[in-house]
Amino acid sequence: MSVTKITDSNIESIDASKLTGALPANMSDITKSAVDPAIDTNPVGGVGTVFLNTTSGEMFSLTDATTDQNTWTNTGSGAGDVVYIPPVYQGTQYGYSVAGTANTSAVERFSFTTDGNSTYVGDIVTARAALTGNSSYTHGYDSGSSSISTVIDKFSFYGNHTASLVGSLNLPKGYAAGQSSSTNGYASGGQSATPLSMLTIDKISFFTDGDSTNIGNLTVNRGHGGGCSSTTHGYTSCGLEIFPAGGNTATSYIDKFSFSSDGSATTVGNASRIKTDNPSCSSSSHGYNVSGYNQYSALGGTSGPTNEIDKYSFSSDGNATIVGTLSYIRYGGAGCSSVVYGYLAGGYANGTYYSTITKFNFSSESSIVDIGDLTATMFFNEGHQV
């Protein structure tokens, strides 16, 4: 029996029925669909999976297989990649610490990609503390102050970082919690001589400079709380419940309000402690209260500054749970969020002002490290990210 060796040059065609068995390991199937892949298209093959849009003829290769944050690189025309874009409350490049009780107007920036100290990059319009921070994709917004003001200013994340005045809050206040959607910033609650402003949720447009509008109320008058953001809702947790006649008391309430329709907040759970001045961070799935001042031991712990980190879910309403502890007890610092880490910069406790920048991993909350320092100690500063 004669045998002919098969080579590339003598194969012109072959019937599919003649091919049996498994394909070689380095040949993967092409996923076909009438639409492009999405960032949450999570194939079992991982990086290298090929996806064909049968309508347009475009072909994509999976180059980043992070769950629900995939990147599909267009290998057809070379344009139109399907890329995960983090929400505004998470950054990929830098965190910012703004102003604070050192009577400063300084804007400081530190890297999310390389651990290290911050650098001074600009100034807001007036030196102040206890301001409320919001982040769009291009600018940082700061409003109010410990002296109870209506100032709203903004600075660019790119180029010149010196801020300009862009509007006024609906009512004067300070110590309000900040939240950010893709289109608006929010200042919820706060401390003020006007009882109404301690209850209101103010909305600030990222597209048009101007004054804020009141869209609803928190469930109780309160300031000195922490603000978190999901893609759909703003959250305000803990803080000092303020009564016009005096007798203020700390809370553990977690309120949430919708970004898609203006309206008042509802209480959806409780934090792990009754505390105030708790900086906050946001992952894609949870809100975090990072340190703070534990006002009472009614829910456990010790009264006074704390180093505890607790978290609550964005997907299901409920109470927070403690997941880790910082290197130092402190309260009143600046919280920032990247896609992977939560950050706390500065703070104060028992006569000590801090310049430390600390980060913790959202996926393993007990992994907490100090990565650098601000240019100076800072208290009641505010955080941003890009």
Asked if 286 and 313 touch (Cβ cutoff 8 Å), the reply is yes
User: Is residue 180's pLDDT more than 90?
Assistant: yes
Considering the domain architecture, whether residues 276 and 366 belong to the same structural domain is answered as yes
**Stretch 194-208: mean pLDDT, rounded?**
90
Q: Residue range 178-183: average pLDDT?
A: 98
Asked if residue 24 has pLDDT above 70, the reply is no
Say if residue 297's pLDDT is above 70. no
Judge whether 240 lies within some domain.
yes
Asked whether residue 230 is assigned to any structural domain, the reply reads yes
Over residues 5-21, mean pLDDT: 59
Q: Is residue 298 part of a domain?
A: yes
Residue 153 covered by a domain: yes
Question: What would the mean pLDDT of 30-37 be, rounded to a whole number?
Answer: 92
The reported pLDDT for the residue numbered 103 is 81
**Amino acid (one-letter) located at 201:** I
Q: What is the average pLDDT across 181-190?
A: 97
134, 141 in Cβ contact below 8 A?
yes
The answer as to whether 4 is a domain residue is: no
- Residue-level pLDDT at 22: 55
Say whether both 176 and 286 belong to one domain: yes
In a domain, 380, yes or no: yes
pLDDT of residue 286: 98
Q: Are residues 41 and 146 in the same domain?
A: no
75 plus 129 within the same structural domain: no
Residues 54 and 190 in one domain: no
Q: Which among 40, 56, 84 is the end of a domain?
A: 84
> pLDDT of 227-275, one tens digit each?
999 999 999 999 998 877 777 889 999 999 999 999 999 999 999 999 9
Query: What does the pLDDT average to over 8-31?
Result: 59
Does residue 254 or residue 22 have the better pLDDT? 254
Same domain assignment for residues 36 and 107: no
Characterize the bridge pairing of strands 149-156 and 164-173. Answer: antiparallel
Last residue of a domain, which of 57, 84, 111?
Answer: 84
Whether pLDDT at 19 is above 60: no
Predicted confidence (pLDDT) at residue 301 exceeds the cutoff of 80? no
350 is a domain residue: yes
* Residue 356 CB burial class (10 angstroms; 0-12, 13-18, ≥19): buried
Average pLDDT, the chain: 91
- 174 vs 77, more confident: 174
pLDDT at 76: 76
Query: Do 79 and 161 belong together in one domain?
Result: no
Residues 174 and 321 in one domain: yes
- The answer to whether residues 295 and 344 belong to one domain is yes
pLDDT above 90 for 84: no
Whether 14 is covered by a domain: the verdict is: no
The predicted model gives 281-295 an average pLDDT of: 96
3-state secondary structure the chain: CCCCCCCHHHCCCCCHHHCCCCCCCCCCCEEEECCCCCCCCCCCCCCCCEEEECCCCCEEEEEECCCCCCEEEECCCCCCCECCCCCCCCECCEEEEEEECCCEEEEEEEECCCCCCCEEEEECCCCCCCCEEEECCCEEEEECCCCCEEEEEEEECCCCCCCEEEEEEEEEEECCEEEECCCEEEEECCECCCHHHHCEEEEEECCCCCCCEEEEECCCCEECCEEEECCCEEEEECCEECCCCCCCEECCEEEEEECCCCCCCEEEEECCCCEECCCEEECCCEEEEEEEEECCCCCCCCCEEEEEEEEEECCCCCCCEEEEEEEEEEECCEEEEECCEEEEEEEEECCEEEEEEEEEECCCCCCEEEEEECCCCCCCCEEEEC
Q: Is 244 exposed, middle or buried (0-12, 13-18, 19+ CB in 10 A)?
A: exposed
Domain boundaries, position 296: 94-385
pTM for the model stands at 0.83
Domain end, chosen from 46, 61, 84, is at 84
Using alpha carbons, select from 159, 215, 162 the residue that is nearest to residue 184.
215
Number of domains in the chain: 2
Q: What is the pLDDT of residue 139?
A: 98
Give mean pLDDT, residues 200-210: 97
Q: Both 46 and 161 in a single domain?
A: no
Same domain, 34 and 135: no
Query: Do 278 and 215 fall within a single domain?
Result: yes
Task: Residue 229: give its domain's CATH number.
Answer: 2.120.10.80
